[in-house]
Amino acid sequence: MPNKTNTKKVGGRTFTGVVVSDKMNKTRVVKVDSFSKHPKYGKFLKTSKKFKAHDEANTTHMGDTVTITECRPMSRDKHFIISNT
């Protein structure tokens, strides 16, 4: 029987962003910026979205650039983990 302690299935979408909040324990808020072209007018639009990501060791702080990867839901609105710093 395999040992299931400390195993997290990692896969899905991957984003790079900046940590904007580190006030919660083991949770970081990461802001991800993206550029998209308007379909009709051709203007490039900058959009940003905030994701809550799990940080088990509390190693990242505000201003750090991190990569987050989608995983299973850990709470109502936390479904990413910080994969590297």
The verdict on residue 48 lying in a domain is yes
The verdict on residue 50 lying in a domain is yes
The verdict on residue 4 lying in a domain is no
Rg of the Cα atoms in the chain: 15
Split into its structural domains, the chain has a count of 1
The verdict on residue 70 lying in a domain is yes
The three-state secondary structure class of 22 is: coil
The predicted model scores a pTM of 0.82
* Pairwise CA distance, residues 38 & 23, whole Å: 36
pLDDT single digits (tens) 7-29: 455 568 999 999 999 999 999 99
The encoded tokens of residue 48 equal: 């940003």
pLDDT single digits (tens) 68-85: 999 999 999 999 999 975
The verdict on residue 18 lying in a domain is yes
Which residues constitute the domain of residue 21? Answer: 12-84
Say which CATH number the domain at 79 has: 2.40.50.140
